[in-house]
Every structure is written in C-alpha cells, then in structure tokens.
Amino acid sequence: MTSASLSESRHRVLGLTDAEYELICQKLGREPNEVELAVFSLMWSEHCAYKHSKRLLATLPTSGERLVLGPGENAGAVDVGGGLAVAFKVESHNHPSAVEPFQGAATGVGGILRDVFAIGARPIAVLDSLRFGELSSRRSRYLLERVVAGIGHYGNSIGVPTVGGEIYFEGPYEQNCLVNAMCVGLVARERLIRSAAAGVGNVLVLFGASTGRDGIGGASVLASAELGEADEAKRPSVQIGDPFEEKKLLECSLELLERGLLVALQDLGAAGLSSASSEMASKGGVGLDIDVAKVPLREPDMEPFEIMVSESQERMLCVTEPEHVEEVLAVCRKWETHATAIGAVTDSGLLRVLAGGEVVGELPVRALVDDCPIYELTPARPARALYAAPPRTLEATDPGGMLLGLLGSANLASRRWAFEQYDCLVQSRTVRRPEQADAAVLALPGGSAIAVSIDGNGRRVACDPHTGTLEAVFECAANLACVGAEPLGLTNCLNFGNPEKPHVAWQLAEAVRGLGDGCRALGIPVVGGNVSLYNEGPQGPIYPTPVVGIVGELPDAARCAGIGFAREGDVIALVGSLSPSLAGSELAKLRGEPLPDGLPALDLESISVAHATVRAAVRSGALRSAHDVAEGGLAVALAECCLAGGLGASVDLGAVEELDVALFGEAPGRAFVVSGRADALAELDAALPLGTVRGDRLAIATGVATALDIAVTDLARARAEGLPALLD
C-alpha cells in the first residue's frame, strides 16, 4: 500500500463501498485525508467490524453462573474455583495461511496467545483446528506441512504446549484452508485486566517489537475479500512472527500487571495501532492522542498511515498513570522489550493522530467503532446442491475392509505425524497426551483439572447447517464428558463464504441458530470468538465450518478416563441413543456419495442425560475408559478404544437391519463406548452391554453372524500408516 494507491481510487482500493465512503464523509463533515481513510478502511472492514454477522451474534447466550469475562474483551474467562479463572479464545488466520502457510499459522498462534495474556492470564495450552483440500493435491500437502511446521515453531519456541486439535481434508478447502487456533490461560481472578482506556491525562505506552511494513493491510486485504488468482501478490500482507520476542513480551506484560502498574492493556493484532487505540478509547468512552513520530520503526521513512495500520507482530499498547511511566519503562528494559510513551488519554472523544507537532488525522472514536454500518443478511436456502460429490476412494464392500479403509483414510488416520511436531508436555500440566483421551486435560493446583476440546465438521454442517452445528457443540461437550469434565463456557470461530450471497447467508444464520440452541441446552455461555467470512474462491465457498472450543472442569485429575480399553475382562457398554445414519458420514464420503439435504434430528434432552451419566460415572471411578461415537461410527470407535489400550474386544450388536449403518453410521455427540468392571456398569443407568475386553482381536458379531474379526495389530497398521502414505 503506497501513497499513490491511496489517492488513486481512494476508498475502493481499500475495500470501502461508495455508500460507506459517503457515510464517512458525513460523519467527518468533510472528505477524509490519507491517514483517516486508511484507519476507517480497516476499522470498517469485515474482520474488525463484523458488519455482516453482528446482529446474528447478538442472539447467542452470553451470561452464566461461572462467567467472569464475556464477549467484548480480548478473551473470555470462567471461574474454576480456588480464586482462579481460565481465559480462552479461538481465532482464525485462514487467508494469511492460504497465502503464506508457515508465517500465517505461526502468527495465528502468536496472536491468540496475546489475546489471552492481554487480560492478564498466563497461556498454558494451545489447540488448533485445521482444514485443507484433499491430500491428492500437491497444494494441500504443501499447506498442511507448512502450517503444522508454523504452529510447532511458534508454540514450541515460546514454551506453550499444543495439547489437542483436529485436522480434516475436504475438496472445498482446496483454495481456502482453515487455520483456527485456540489458547487457554490461567489467572488469579483479582489480576484480570480489561482493555478500556481510562483516566484523562494517563499515558499510552507502546511496547514490544518495532513497527515495520509487514502486515500492512492484512485485515482488510486478506480477511474481508475472496481469494483469487492474484493471491501471490498478497504475500506482503502476511505478518512475520518472532516467538522469542513474544516470550519476552508475555513475561513483561505479566510482570507489569503483577506490580499493578497498568490501567488497561490491549494487544496489537488486526489493524494494528488503529484497532488497538480506537477500541480502547471506545470501551472507556474517552479520546486518545497518538504521536506516530514516537513509534519505534523497523524501517525508515514510514508514512503516518503506514504506522497506524501496520500489523507487525509482538506489540502491546497499555495505559498507565503518569507517575508509573518510568517504572513501566524500567520493567520493559529488564525484559529487553522496547517501550515508548506515544500518547495520552483525553476527554475529546477523538482519536487524534499526530506526526511530531502536526495533526495528521482526527477521527471521532464513535464513528470508527460504534457507528460502522451493519448490514442485514438476505438468507435463502440454496435451490441446488452447492458442492460436488467427492471422488470414490474406497472399493471394499466387506465390513472388515471398510473398517480398515476408514482407519487409514485422511480424516480418520492417526495424527501422530502432526502432534509429534508439537511439544505437548512443556509446563508439566498435561495429564493426557493427544490420542490418549477425547479432551486435553490440564492439572490445576490442589489436584483438580480443566479439560478443553475443539471440534467442528464442515461436511455435516453443509448437509444441514442447524443440526450440523448442534452436533459440533454436543460432540465437543461429549469429549469433555469422557474425561469427567463439566462444560463451563464456549468459544467459537465461524468460518464461512461470502455472506453477501444468499445461500452463504442462510448457512451462517442457521449455524448461529444451532450454536445458540446447543449452548442453551448445555446451559453454558458463549464467552467470545471470531468470525471469518469470504472463505471462497473461483470454485465456490468452503464448507460452512463453525468450530467450537469448550472448557470444563473436573474435581480430580487422577480420575480422568482415557479412550483405551484398560483391563482384560472389563465389560464394554454403550451409553446414549445412537440412532446412526450414513447421511454425511465418512463412509459415504469414501464411497463418493453426494451430500444429503438434511441430517436426522437430535433429541437434546436425551443427549444431555447421556453426557451427565458418563461424566458422573467417570468422576466416581466407575469407568476405566470412555470414548464418544463420532466420525466413522461405532466400529471405528471400538477400534480406537482397542488401539489406545492395546487390547482386543468381543462385541455382539444383536440383530441389525442394515449392517453398514449399524457399524459405520454416525450420530456425533449422542453416544459413548465405555468400559469397566461388570458390577460398576450394572449400576450405571442406561448402559447397554455390548461385550467384553479380551484378546488381541476386534470381533464384532450381529447375533449368530460375525460381521468382522480383525487383529488389533492390523487395525494399528492401517491407522498409523494412513497419513504418512497419503503425504508420500
């Protein structure tokens, strides 16, 4: 972005419509200058203003008994007892990762870490939710490898464990990969800090990395428009991350808060200084003066508008009282973190940008943040199928061959290749490693723990946006139930195509309705999140992909159940009402079947009862293992239990009408495979006995007939070799 490009076509070059430009002129009472137009273009972009989703998000439940911080802050937080709160949030870095996957993913991790320590919490875990095109595509293999490398580079270097996540491969993500990162942090409740600027005369201090031209225009260029043929030219809009700089920034921020030196704290993410300063001013009902001549620069001769919109990473903006400025600067020097007083809090209600003694921009804060135009969606259910049927990749017709094919498929194969690139044990809180339990479990002081999971299934949401989103919420909560955790709050990242198109608007509206219905059924609030729209290319939109992350608590970390069958002779049972269907299932995908129009309805009350039953049984010690039945159906769930425990199982499903449906039909979030002592399971309400843990083979019968009988070693080989073979 140059001065010439700003003056030429002015607002259109920056993504503003003619009507929006006219509205800006009305609010200013004149035409905006170069700096003002640049700031407005970012603050009124989709990424910053949520102008196509704000009305929908207002329908979500955002209050709860344990809620400490809700939407509007850098991260949400819930009370976990003992004077502690858990902060968490999920955000996207989709478009940057599609353009420059390593740095896009790395800075996505860096950004979500800053969101959490910006409210005073120490980051203790990262999870990620990733979507790519099919692995038959060279581009998708490249994006996967570089994204995983970027996540590992940043998280491992800064010393925050990556404890869980998910990876899916579907054709509609070929041009628009999804990289959603979630961070969880821990903080004493009394040390939480908000981002609202306050106190006329208080000083603004910018600290962290120097400001450069990397990331200029990132929010408006990359996250508020569809990707197309010219993606390569957008590489300069992708930020460059430095995890070692962020580590110093993290420790410096937490020490400043521990010493009580700050009035407010805000990270510089999308839109850089423009967003951080105007949002702090809006929340506090104040004005701010910023002198860009005082901002430390990495590159010479940067224009004032470039300094205001730069998205250089690892920077924080704080408000402190004048008498504390020198102490703030001293703490920053201790951590070798640049810090400069760049402005002050005023009572003007304006964001004034100065360059030395000259005023180069004067913007009403309310116009920037609160008066952005909000658009009505025009949702319409699509009249025809939006997505092509996937290619057929499974030829097996016998149950054993289908099970092995599913276990080795891109979406169900072991993710060990990826998670072994991440440090999941640093900080010594991790109770269960990836693939040992359905949710990540992190120990807290005193023996209790928190559990966290992240989930989504774009293909099922594409079949039925409302029901598919409900399933995502319940599957995520089911993962927590399997380790004995009660859900306390939910964060989300809504990844959709162009909302100006009626069929995408319908997907988005129905998904948000499902998200709200799921949260109300579970009795948990939405604490915050992110919306990523315009994930669309020449071939059409991505699958509508609401990703949800839920945090819960469990009283005793030692009683956390794992996936694996644990003891020979234990009884295996099913808890919950399975009612499986092959509609939108993994088996249907491998068979090349088109997406159905709709999914089976959910019985919300029975699902809630099943979750509560499993959660209580895990907490009581009655269960030695618990695993939800999700992708691939009951047969895959049983195989995963065998593989995690290294033991076989003998199961009888009784007479079934359709064998494929009984074995591989899906009903995410509704049912659980559990195991334990016979007497313990006999006392468990609604537990349907299926069989026994024994031997070294998985044998599934349907009455007198054997449906499949496979050695656990063969199951292990199929699952372990699936992803490496596809990558090769």
Element (H, E) at 687: strand 687-693
Parallel/antiparallel/unpaired status of strands 697-702 and 649-652? parallel
Q: What is the mean pLDDT of residues 300-316?
A: 93
Provide the annotated active-site residues: 47, 93
Element (H, E) at 90: strand 84-92
The alpha carbon dihedral of 303, 308, 312, 317 has a sign of: positive
Task: Decide if pLDDT at 220 tops 50.
Answer: no
Q: What is the mean pLDDT of the chain?
A: 93
Examine domains 12-44+193-369 and 571-727 and report if their fold is the same: yes
For 571-727, the fitting CATH number among 3.40.640.10, 1.20.120.1200, 3.90.650.10, 3.30.420.10 is 3.90.650.10
**Cα-flanking dihedrals φ and ψ of residue 723, to 5°?**
-70, -45
**What residue type is assigned to position 466 of the chain?**
H
Output the pLDDT for position 535. 95
Output the pLDDT for position 13. 86
DSSP H helix total and E strand total for the chain: 26, 27
The structure tokens listed for 91 are 């955000």
Parallel/antiparallel/unpaired status of strands 486-495 and 526-532? parallel
Contact at 8 Å (CB) between 128 and 165? yes
Task: Decide if pLDDT at 25 tops 80.
Answer: yes
The band of 537, judged by pLDDT with boundaries at 50, 70 and 90, is confident
The structure tokens listed for 570 are 């234990």
- Domain 12-44+193-369 listed as CATH 3.90.650.10: yes
**Torsion-angle region of 722 (φ positive above 0: left; ψ -120 to 50: alpha; else: beta):** alpha
Q: What is the mean pLDDT of residues 446-459?
A: 96
**SS (HEC) of 607-674:** HHHHHHHHHHHHHHCCCCEEEECCCCHHHHHHHHHHHHHCCCEEEECCCCCCHHHHHHCECCCCEEEE
Task: Decide if pLDDT at 635 tops 80.
Answer: yes
Q: What is the four-CA torsion angle of 22, 23, 28, 32, rounded to 10 degrees?
A: -40
**CA gap 727, 393 in Å, rounded:** 16
**CA gap 552, 283 in Å, rounded:** 29
The band of 693, judged by pLDDT with boundaries at 50, 70 and 90, is very high
Least confident of 230-244, 424-438, 692-706: 230-244
Q: At what angle do helices 465-481 and 604-620 cross, to 10 degrees?
A: 10
- What does the pLDDT look like over 356-398, one tens digit per residue? 989 999 999 999 999 999 999 999 999 999 999 999 999 999 9
Output the pLDDT for position 232. 46
Helices (H), 346-501: 365-369, 399-407, 416-419, 458-463, 465-481
Q: What is the mean pLDDT of residues 254-274?
A: 95
Element (H, E) at 2: none
Q: What is the mean pLDDT of residues 177-202?
A: 97
**CA gap 71, 86 in Å, rounded:** 15
**CA gap 327, 344 in Å, rounded:** 17
The structure tokens listed for 545 are 């992909």
Q: What is the four-CA torsion angle of 549, 553, 558, 559, rounded to 10 degrees?
A: -90
Total residues belonging to the chain: 728
Of the candidates 34, 86, 127, which has an alpha carbon nearest to the alpha carbon of residue 547?
127
Q: What is the mean pLDDT of residues 2-6?
A: 41
Parallel/antiparallel/unpaired status of strands 287-291 and 350-355? parallel
Q: What is the mean pLDDT of residues 94-110?
A: 94
Contact at 8 Å (CB) between 533 and 53? yes
The DSSP line for 144-209 is HHHHHHHHHHHHHHHT--EEEEEEEE-GGGSSS-EEEEEEEEEEEGGG-------STTPEEEEEES
- What does the pLDDT look like over 402-436, one tens digit per residue? 999 999 999 999 999 999 999 999 999 999 888 89
**Torsion-angle region of 85 (φ positive above 0: left; ψ -120 to 50: alpha; else: beta):** beta
Q: What is the mean pLDDT of residues 188-205?
A: 96
**CA gap 36, 21 in Å, rounded:** 11
Q: What is the mean pLDDT of residues 521-532?
A: 96
Of the candidates 618, 624, 619, 621, which has an alpha carbon nearest to the alpha carbon of residue 570?
624
The structure tokens listed for 506 are 């319908």
Sheet holding 545-554, edge to edge: 440-443, 449-455, 545-554, 486-495, 526-532
pTM of the predicted model, to two decimals? Answer: 0.94
Task: Decide if pLDDT at 230 tops 50.
Answer: no
Output the pLDDT for position 5. 41
The domain segmentation of the chain, as residue ranges, is 12-44+193-369, 571-727
Distances (CA, A) of 431 to 535, 653, 699: 36, 33, 31
**CA gap 117, 657 in Å, rounded:** 54
The structure tokens listed for 225 are 């428009």
Report the SS3 class of residue 303.
Answer: coil
Q: Calculate what percentage of the chain has a pLDDT beyond 90.
A: 89
Output the pLDDT for position 234. 46
Task: Decide if pLDDT at 8 tops 50.
Answer: no
Output the pLDDT for position 239. 78
- What does the pLDDT look like over 121-166, one tens digit per residue? 999 999 999 999 999 999 999 999 999 999 999 999 999 999 999 9
Q: At what angle do helices 502-522 and 465-481 cross, to 10 degrees?
A: 30
**CA gap 581, 660 in Å, rounded:** 9
